[in-house]
Structure 1
């Protein structure tokens, strides 16, 4: 059987709750619901249709990515991916999240059929089921302000069970472990 997996940064519960309230208000106002399915998160990698036989390899391989230094992630205001109709809170790119993304991608090798070479960190507010409302939603949010910071000392592996996203494992930062070298 094949499943989808998400490697993500989950903000602390209080901040996740606050952002979820924003998602819910948008959802209720515009009658769009898909953005409410996953937990509040910043996607590092999305693994689609990965065969279950690779799950233990995935879980074990990610242990090697724990070698990152904890860092502060800043969230600031709203933006959109216009061609993809996604409205989101901007998670400001920084060298630490870029290193974590590239390290995970390198460690997973062929398991990560991720075409992106760069990370575009964000927390989705609305996507997928907003067609006609995209311009209206983006117009509403693009001039709103939002600011928050949180400490990132772990990342999370989630698995979709055909109805919900479930946490499989948290990977707490373990600085000082052997680092993988690569050019930024």
Structure 2
């Protein structure tokens, strides 16, 4: 399969600039102290739909479907409280309430799957909303030292989720190609 004709996309909610900057500072601190930098390839985000491939000629159609979907969503408040981890592989800023994300994710996955049949590895039945600060190149041996910096650190903030974005992989990093505003604010 030619990767250029079927690029990777994913759908996410982005926090406001203040939180984006704070999350970036956490990622940069981890890079500077522990040489763990993979998470810097992506802007701070909360995934709604994991990466999936779509033929490039259908991108406009995908955008139209997502515009319709977003118009039926209400803006909602996102509370960030402390840090969490997935085993010894990922460290993240924790999202307090998952209900709205779980609902949107289920509906969105249905919409995307009806547009283009998602492969099994492009589907996720469970989501755990979070803002990643260390991933992939976080080694098991480095994990305890990095986690010690966040395990008991206090961090809380909040933002209003008023839109979602479609991101597209350019071969090296992810680019936001379109914002979809929620109409019911």
Q: Could you say which TM-score interval applies, normalised by the shorter chain?
A: 0.7 to 0.9
Match of 2:6 in 1: 2
Match of 1:127 in 2: 135
Structure 2 distance, partners of 1:150, 1:73, is 5
Helix, strand or coil at the partner of 2:149: helix
Partner deviation per Cα, 1:38-96 (whole Å, 9 max, x = no partner) = 1111111122343323322321221232111110001111111006x001011123322
Superposition pairs for residues 138-149 of structure 1, below 5 Å? 138-149=147-158
Gaps of 5+ in 2: none
Helix, strand or coil at the partner of 1:149: strand
How many residue pairs get aligned? The number is 175
Gaps of 5+ in 1: 177-184
1:79–1:90 contact (8 Å) kept in structure 2: yes
Match of 2:38 in 1: 34
Match of 2:104 in 1: 100
| TM value normalised by structure 2 | 0.87
Return the offset for 1:142.
1.2
Superposition pairs for residues 64-75 of structure 1, below 5 Å? 64-66=68-70, 67-75=72-80
Helix, strand or coil at the partner of 1:162: coil
User: Are 1:116 and 2:116 an aligned pair?
Assistant: no
Structure 1 distance, partners of 2:97, 2:35, is 31
Return the offset for 1:136.
2.0
